[in-house]
Amino acid sequence: MMTNNKIEIDETYCKGCALCTIACPHGLIEMDVTLNSLGYIPAMITPANLAKCTACALCARTCPDTAITVFKSVSGSKTERS
């Protein structure tokens, strides 16, 4: 199911520990390929994977650096609207 939910990974806080990648029950979060300003390889989510996000917030709860903010769409999923 496609969703409109959103997570924001703040690159300036991410230290690239990758704990969020094992916390996501759907394995949607990956590690980036370029360094952030701290010199770490941060976590990222592709637009295709973001469309599968259920906004369960387990990634954000696991992040030791509180780098992830989770938003749930309140205007319904794309599937429901179409």
Partner 1 sequence: MTTQYKQVFGRPESLKDVATHFCPGCHHGTIHRLCAEAMDALDIQQRTIGVASVGCSVFLYGYFDIDVVEAPHGRAPAVATGVKRVRKDDVVFTYQGDGDLAAIGTAEIIHAANRGEAITVIFVNNTTYGMTGGQMAPTTLPQQRTSTSPTGRDVANDGYPIRMAELLAGLEGVAYSTRVAVDSPQHIIAAGKAIHHAFDCQVKSGGFSFVEVLSTCPTNWGMDALKANARVASEMIPYFPLGVFKDAACAEEGA
Binding residues for partner 1, per CB under 8 A?
A: 4, 6, 12-13, 15-19, 22-23, 38, 40, 55, 57-58, 60-66, 68-75, 81
CB of 39 to partner 1, least distance (A): 11
Min CB(11)–partner 1 separation in Å: 11
Distance (Å, whole) CA 37 – CA 66: 17
Residue 54's contacts (CB-CB under 8 Å, 6 or more residues apart) are: 3, 5, 26
Three-state DSSP at 63 gives coil
Tokens of 20: 């969020």
Min dist CB 34 to partner 1, Å, is 16
